[in-house]
């Protein structure tokens, strides 16, 4: 599944092979929560050079439902995305929907964020849903507390995450035996900022032998220095021949630093979210607030060196106007620019890591 091609102090370069194509690493995975990217098409996304799309198990389970997706031929046929797809487990919603859920050892009782309907998601349910959706890479169900939560909360979350990982692997192995093209299963390392808990979580998950390992529970309250300290603890303990995925991190400099520490995969909604609110990433590394007054009369290109053609031809004044007027095309231009710059940075990093 994963071939490590090069490793140096600058990071690792590799390839993840799936039934729907190869994923060169390090890579950034755009987040298409319900199988779509707000403001841009999947064709746009492919033209930017994205090699994999992340979709959300919890949201797809609620609407349209995994059986609808299955009957359409799986997520690839349902969405029209031809390249690899990774699905998260629904575990992040355990963190983000604290007012709408109750965590037990069996799993999580949710109230739907749409209409309050009761639903239950546990390790077995999450894995079965992800298999039904037809993703190429799936994630174990885990408990993700804030990184700064007290130690006793982190201990309980690690214990539960380890128990759930074992249950996830059992049902995955059962389903894999009858699947013509089974997905790869990644476990998720938790432990907050507690170094010993992170070490223990890694060691026990590695002993279970998963296809890859994700690092969760970061970018949820800690400082950048604290995040990097935890990566310095976790990454050296992970198997060199398995992919490493840092969840929920999308700031360019943070990804560069994480690549140096041995991380291979990233996902985040941040480039899209900041674009919609007027923060634009430039090829130079600068970030500008395009909706501010100085850009009302700045008729220079959005980014003359952009990997995105529309940013080389449209003026900053035009994007300023579109976003301030709540024109949907403004969101599209801004999102294309931020994703284009993010994906281009990953391409550059891979070139620097060429053996």
Strand partners, 202: none
Task: Please state the length of the chain.
Answer: 355
Domain 2-267 has CATH 3.20.20.105: yes
Q: What is the pLDDT of residue 115?
A: 85
- Nearest CA-CA partner of 137 in 298, 264, 224: 264
Count H helices and E strands in the chain, helices first.
14, 16
Per-residue tens of pLDDT for the chain, all 355 residues: 899 999 999 999 999 999 999 999 999 999 998 999 988 999 999 999 999 999 999 999 999 999 999 999 999 999 999 999 999 998 777 667 677 678 899 998 888 777 888 889 999 999 999 999 999 999 999 999 999 999 999 999 999 999 999 999 999 999 999 999 999 999 999 999 999 999 999 999 999 999 999 999 999 989 999 999 999 999 999 999 999 999 999 999 999 999 999 999 999 999 999 999 999 999 999 999 999 999 999 999 999 999 999 999 999 999 999 999 999 999 999 999 999 999 999 999 999 997 6
Cα–Cα dist 177/175, whole Å: 5
Residues of the chain with CATH 3.20.20.105: 2-267
Q: What is the pLDDT of residue 193?
A: 97
- Mark 181-201 as b/e (b = at least 16 C-beta within 10 Å): ebbbbbbbbbbbbbeebbebb
Residue corresponding to tokens 């690690």 = 158
**Global confidence as pTM:** 0.96
Cα–Cα dist 95/217, whole Å: 9
Q: Which residues are catalytic?
A: 88, 267
Q: What is the pLDDT of residue 110?
A: 81
Please report the sign of the dihedral spanned by the C-alpha atoms of residue 219, residue 230, residue 267, residue 291: positive
């Amino acid at each position: 599944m994963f071939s490590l091609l090069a490793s140096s102090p600058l990071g690792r370069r590799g390839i993840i092979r799936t039934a729907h194509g190869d994923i060169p690493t390090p890579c950034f995975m755009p987040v298409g929560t319900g199988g779509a990217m707000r403001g841009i098409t999947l064709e746009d996304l492919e033209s930017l050079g994205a090699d994999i799309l992340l979709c959300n198990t919890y949201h797809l389970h609620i609407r349209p439902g995994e059986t609808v997706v299955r009957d359409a031929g799986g997520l690839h046929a349902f969405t029209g995305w031809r390249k690899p797809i990774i699905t998260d487990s629904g575990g992040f919603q355990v963190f983000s929907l604290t007012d709408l859920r109750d965590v037990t050892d069996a799993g999580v009782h949710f109230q739907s964020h749409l209409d309050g309907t009761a639903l239950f998601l546990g390790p077995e349910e999450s894995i079965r849903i992800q298999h039904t959706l037809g993703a190429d890479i799936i994630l174990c169900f885990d408990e993700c507390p804030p990184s700064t939560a007290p130690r006793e909360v982190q201990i309980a979350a690690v214990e539960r995450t380890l128990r759930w990982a074992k249950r996830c692997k059992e049902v995955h192995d059962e389903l894999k035996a009858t699947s013509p093209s089974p997905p790869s299963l990644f476990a998720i390392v938790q432990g907050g900022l507690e170094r010993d808990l992170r070490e223990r979580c890694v060691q026990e998950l590695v002993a279970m032998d998963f296809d890859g390992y994700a690092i969760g529970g970061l970018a949820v309250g800690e400082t950048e220095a604290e995040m990097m300290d935890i990566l310095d603890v976790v990454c050296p303990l992970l198997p060199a021949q398995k992919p490493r995925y840092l969840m929920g991190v999308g700031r360019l400099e943070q990804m560069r630093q994480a690549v140096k520490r041995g991380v291979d995969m990233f996902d985040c909604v941040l480039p899209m979210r900041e674009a919609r609110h007027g923060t634009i990433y430039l090829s130079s590394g600068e970030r500008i607030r395009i909706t501010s007054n100085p850009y009302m009369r700045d008729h220079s290109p959005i980014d003359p060196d952009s990997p995105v053609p529309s940013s080389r031809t449209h003026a900053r004044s035009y994007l300023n106007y579109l976003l301030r007027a709540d024109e949907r095309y403004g969101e599209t231009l801004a999102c294309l620019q931020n994703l284009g710059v993010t994906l281009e940075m990953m391409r550059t990093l891979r070139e620097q890591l060429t053996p």
